[in-house]
Amino acid sequence: MKIKVIKDVLEANNYIARKIREELIKRQAMMINVIGSPGAGKTSFITKSIEKLGIKSVVIEGDVASDIDSKKVAGLGIPVVQINTGGGCHLNANMIDLALKEIDVENAIIFVENVGNLICPASFDIGEDFKVAVSSVPEGHDKPYKYPAVFEKARATVLNKVDLMKHLEFDTESFYEGVTALNPSGNIFEVSSINGDGMEEWIKWLKLQFTKKFNR
Amino acid sequence: MHELSISSAILSTVLSQLPADYTKVTRIDITLGDLSGFVPEHVNYYFQLLSRNTPAQGAILNFKYERSKFRCTVCGKIYERCNFSMRCPLCNSRGRLLEGCTSLYINSIEVEQ
């Protein structure tokens, strides 16, 4: 006997993600899911963004193991919650739900640094307002072609470490072509989280997203 | 390895749909998009491990693989991506994603008494 089912396999995760969005609205908070490869510079990008933002911010750090990144963030006086997935390759909504219980914050931006991985984190809704894909110059310009899902789903793509551009053969046109093919309405920001180049434009855009969410 | 949680979710969904007077799930039809980020072979591998000693042991997972469509910005041709390029296979111009296939859902199951 054949039984029609029509059920989203990720339904349980997505249910929690919807609850998280409700919670964020209650707290007047915006949550960003930052996704990129290991070594793309996600932590530096987040801390540099917070430094320039002028809006109360907290960080949820996702790593397979260790508290290296969360110590780095805490050392700058930024509130941080560490999630260790213990081998898991991505964060899911349930992990974020638990982490949010440890954060007593309102009127803030919550940066979630997902596990360093361009594949798995793209598939799981964690209740974020939007995803930001972080790719870096040393990784090469082919990332949108090899890992299309994350670039398709991200509201913004950040090309980090542009200060290294002069030392490497990075085909900027090919990178842009790949990202815009997958995400015609997406925004691309070229930044250096080390010297701060390009951060103004990104910060301006980020502030606008925050303002728009709550009609501030 | 992120397919492990997906295979687990498929198994629990399928078992929850099994009618009381049926004892075996023989086939599961699943739609999976090329931008879902999941690999059918891995989903199947974990499913076969997880379903041991359950009514779904040995069930065949049948995947309908949906491919994203692009539209050429010059000639308008609608096409599926071919290998590395996202360009139009006819005129080699740039394309734009028209329909991204991110879906992953169970369509139906077949059960036996």
Residue in B19, B22, B108 closest to A5 by CB: B108
Domain locations in chain B as residue ranges:
3-67+100-112
Domain locations in chain A as residue ranges:
11-214
Among residues of chain B, what percentage have pLDDT more than 90? 88
- Contacts of residue B19 in chain A, CB cutoff 8 Å? 1, 3
Supply the mean pLDDT for chain B: 94
Q: For residue A159, is pLDDT > 90?
A: yes
Output the pLDDT for position B10: 96
* Segment A80-96 mean pLDDT: 91
Output the pLDDT for position A24: 97
Q: Name residue B29's amino acid.
A: D
Output the pLDDT for position A32: 98
The pTM score is: 0.92
Cross-chain Cβ contact B5/A122 below 8 Å: no
Greater pLDDT, A161 or A104: A161
Output the pLDDT for position A89: 86
* Segment A134-146 mean pLDDT: 97
At residue A106, the 3 state secondary structure works out as: coil
ipTM comes to 0.85
- Contacts of residue B1 in chain A, CB cutoff 8 Å? 87, 89
* Segment A55-62 mean pLDDT: 95
**Residue B59 gets which letter from DSSP?**
P
* Segment A68-80 mean pLDDT: 90
Q: For residue A9, is pLDDT > 70?
A: yes
Confidence of residue A28 (pLDDT cuts 50, 70, 90): very high
Helix/strand/coil percentages in chain B, nearest 5 = 25, 35, 40
Q: What length does chain A have? A: 216
Domain A11-214 CATH (choose: 3.90.550.10, 3.20.20.70, 3.40.605.10, 3.40.50.300): 3.40.50.300
Confidence of residue A52 (pLDDT cuts 50, 70, 90): very high
- Contacts of residue A176 in chain B, CB cutoff 8 Å? none
Q: Which residue has the tokens 């899902």?
A: A149
pLDDT tens-digit series, residues A94-113: 999 999 999 988 999 999 99
Q: What CATH number does the domain located at B3-67+100-112 have?
A: 3.30.2320.50
Among residues of chain A, what percentage have pLDDT more than 70? 100
* Segment B40-60 mean pLDDT: 96
Tokens of A177: 């072509």
Output the pLDDT for position B1: 67
Output the pLDDT for position A69: 87
Output the pLDDT for position A208: 97
Confidence of residue A67 (pLDDT cuts 50, 70, 90): confident
Output the pLDDT for position A64: 86
| Close Cβ partners of A152 (under 8 Å, ≥ 6 residues apart) | A182, A183, B35, B97, B100, B102
Confidence of residue A86 (pLDDT cuts 50, 70, 90): confident
DSSP letters of A7-18? EETTHHHHHHHH
B40-50 helix and B3-17 helix, angle to the nearest 10 degrees? 60
Which range has the worst mean pLDDT, A23-27, A71-75, A85-89, B66-70? A85-89
Output the pLDDT for position A190: 98
- Å between B88 CA and nearest CA of chain A: 11
Cross-chain Cβ contact A182/B38 below 8 Å: no
- Contacts of residue B110 in chain A, CB cutoff 8 Å? 1-3
Tokens of B45: 């591998």
